[in-house]
Amino acid sequence: MSEINDMSRRDLIELGVAGAAVAMASPAAMAQSRAGSSDGDKPVGFAIVGLGKLSQGQLLPGLTRTKNAKLTGLVSGDPAKAARLAVQYNVPAKSVYSYETYDRIIRDPAIEVVYIVLPNNMHAEYTIRALKAGKHVLCEKPMATTVADSEAMIAAAKAADRKLMIAYRCHYEPTNLAAMRRIRSGGIGKPRTVWTDMSRQANFSDPSDAWRVSKEMSGTGALADMGVYGINAARYLLNEEPIEVRAWASTDRSDPRFKEVEDLVSWQFRFPSGAIANGSTAFNSNGGMGFQVAGEKGRVVADPGCLYGGNRLTFGAPNGKTVEITEIDQFAREMDWMADVVRGRAPMVAPGEEGLQDMRLIDAIMQSIARDGATIKTDWGYKRAVDPAAVVDV
Ligand code: NDP
């Protein structure tokens, strides 16, 4: 591409024309952006996009504990916060971007993976922009706010020939892996029922929760935020996909948190094996994040089962035996896994299709609620490509 074209691309970025850099990206810029993707043992450079609660509390600290992933970039709408965190985590000032300058990551070969940690309705746009800039993407759950956006993200990854992974941290968490392995080994016999409850009290005074009760920004409130853990868990615990869904909601519309989204959502999944899962989620409950799978011969109970730490697993009934679990930093493990996927050392456990499956199930749940618990068919042929229990070591 000529210097004139190069200049005009720069000018357009300066003017803040989103996507212009991408649309005009030269083969040379794409090659520069992709440099490092086959760099053997070199740590994979990660940029974190959105420096909110999860990024500051878990991901930036987690990146100090990774073996194969390294923090090399930050993207934020708050320059002072970004500058402070850049100093704290040794990110060079040239690799700190705003949402307006984001597309310039195309010229930053130190960034190989972009980790999207934004409100749900921003996942699709920032994922697609990163993919078009030649970067691999790790995107937080839920993948997006709509099925259409999720499909567009998958298509963009295919078009760019880049990896798109959804950040389902429980796939890399020892309690969940031990539960999956117990079930796969026949330890509880044929699974019959699954119970999941992923609930908490949303706190309006916390800005991090304010967008979670906006329909536009969250998609579906507690269901998108917490319920997705239960949807995903039922599927990975049984290692099969629901063929039918029924769901109900219970929401106090006088509660100012629930002007736009449902509060309590409860659903049933029917699986081809005959197993039935009961799931629930709420923003006005102290339910916690637990699950149980009962089989013909025994059961696994993890309550809590999906916290950042302190999960507790028991096998058997009625007086279950507590299983010794050595805790790890599941966020660091997940980012290392992504790094290994990029380097071709590990299989992709949660590709975009895995996030899309949950988005389609969320959609089916909402359809059932709208039809007063009507049965919605969900047998659209999805099959997970890689079972976390078969490949993830912790
Ligand atoms: P926060 O609200 O704490 O952080 C989101 C950040 O996004 C903000 O701090 C801000 O960063 C940036 N942002 C840009 N535009 C907006 C906007 N219009 N409104 C609000 N924030 C904006 O959310 P969380 O960190 O808790 O969650 C982020 C994502 O991570 C969500 O998708 C959530 O579902 C997921 N998540 C996953 C968890 C897990 O365990 N896997 C746990 C918690 C969250 P800045 O100021 O730097 O621009």
Do 265 and 356 fall within a single domain? yes
Residue 320 covered by a domain: yes
Q: Which of the four pLDDT bands, split at 50, 70 and 90, describes residue 9? A: very low
Residue 323 CA to ligand 1 center (angstroms) comes to 34
Domain of residue 385, residue span: 174-324+352-391
Pocket test for ligand 1, best of 208, 216, 335 (most atoms within 8 A of CB): 208
Do 242 and 294 fall within a single domain? yes
Do 65 and 155 fall within a single domain? yes
pLDDT at 7 over 50: no
CATH number (domain holding residue 385): 3.30.360.10
Alpha-carbon span 393 to 299, nearest angstrom: 23
Q: Which of the four pLDDT bands, split at 50, 70 and 90, describes residue 374? A: very high
Residue 257 covered by a domain: yes
pLDDT tens, 91-122? 999 999 999 999 999 999 999 999 999 999 99
User: Average pLDDT for residues 38-65, to the nearest whole number?
Assistant: 94
With b for 16 or more beta-carbon neighbours within 10 A and e for fewer, the 256-289 pattern comes to ebbeebbbbbbbbbbbeeebbbbbbbbbbbebeb
Alpha-carbon span 52 to 363, nearest angstrom: 27
Residue 99 CA to ligand 1 center (angstroms) comes to 14
Do 320 and 378 fall within a single domain? yes
CATH number (domain holding residue 124): 3.40.50.720
Alpha-carbon span 77 to 99, nearest angstrom: 6
Per-residue pLDDT, 328 = 97
Q: Which of the four pLDDT bands, split at 50, 70 and 90, describes residue 204? A: confident
Please indicate whether residue 206, judged by its CB atom, sits closer than 6 Å to ligand 1. Answer: no
Establish whether 102 is a catalytic residue: no
Q: Tally the domains of the chain.
A: 2
- DSSP single-letter state for residue 283: S
Per-residue pLDDT, 319 = 76
Q: Which of the four pLDDT bands, split at 50, 70 and 90, describes residue 24? A: very low
Establish whether 81 is a catalytic residue: no
Picking from 134, 167, 200, the residue at the C-terminal end of a domain is 167
Cα angle, residue 196 at apex, residues 193 and 200 outer, rounded to 5°? 165
pLDDT at 208 over 60: yes
Residue 1 covered by a domain: no
Spatial strand order in the sheet of 284-295: 321-322, 313-315, 299-302, 284-295, 191-201, 276-282, 264-270, 244-250, 376-377
Do 179 and 268 fall within a single domain? yes
Catalytic residue among 99, 102, 229, 236: 229
What is the sign of the dihedral through the CA atoms of 258, 259, 260 and 262?
A: positive
* CA 46 to chain CA centroid, nearest Å: 16
Per-residue pLDDT, 3 = 30
Residue 231 covered by a domain: yes
Q: How confident is the prediction for the chain on average, in pLDDT?
A: 92
Do 139 and 71 fall within a single domain? yes
Do 144 and 204 fall within a single domain? no
Per-residue pLDDT, 41 = 84
Picking from 142, 167, 192, the residue at the C-terminal end of a domain is 167
Alpha-carbon span 166 to 134, nearest angstrom: 18
Residue 26 covered by a domain: no
On whether the CB atoms of residues 123 and 102 are closer than 8 A, the answer is: no
319 vs 191, which has greater pLDDT?
A: 191
Per-residue pLDDT, 162 = 98
Do 364 and 253 fall within a single domain? yes
User: Average pLDDT for residues 283-290, to the nearest whole number?
Assistant: 96
pLDDT tens, 316-360? 976 789 999 999 999 999 999 999 999 999 999 999 999 999 999
Do 123 and 242 fall within a single domain? no
Residue 260 covered by a domain: yes
Query: Whose Cα sits closest to atom 2 in ligand 1?
Result: 208
Alpha-carbon span 201 to 289, nearest angstrom: 12
Instruction: State the closest ligand 1 atom to the C-alpha of 51, by its place in the atom list counted from 1.
Output: 47
Alpha-carbon span 199 to 197, nearest angstrom: 6
User: Average pLDDT for residues 280-299, to the nearest whole number?
Assistant: 97
pLDDT at 15 over 50: no
pTM for the complete prediction? 0.92
Neighbours of 343 (CB within 10 A): 19
Do 153 and 185 fall within a single domain? no
pLDDT at 39 over 60: yes
Per-residue pLDDT, 58 = 98
pLDDT at 35 over 70: no
Query: Which residues are within 8 A (CB) of 207 and not within 5 positions of it... i.e. 6 or more apart?
Result: none
Picking from 167, 200, 226, the residue at the C-terminal end of a domain is 167
pLDDT at 182 over 70: yes
pLDDT at 5 over 50: no
Do 133 and 180 fall within a single domain? no
Do 156 and 184 fall within a single domain? no
pLDDT tens, 223-266? 999 999 999 999 999 999 999 999 999 999 999 999 999 999 99
Residue 77 covered by a domain: yes
Please indicate whether residue 76, judged by its CB atom, sits closer than 6 Å to ligand 1. Answer: yes
User: Average pLDDT for residues 258-281, to the nearest whole number?
Assistant: 98
pLDDT tens, 115-162? 999 999 999 999 999 999 999 999 999 999 999 999 999 999 999 999
Residue 370 covered by a domain: yes
Per-residue pLDDT, 377 = 98
* CA 104 to chain CA centroid, nearest Å: 25
State the SS3 of 200-239: EECCCCCHHHHHHHCHHHHCCCHHHHHHHHHHHHHHHHHC
Pocket test for ligand 1, best of 53, 126, 153 (most atoms within 8 A of CB): 53
Please indicate whether residue 119, judged by its CB atom, sits closer than 6 Å to ligand 1. Answer: yes
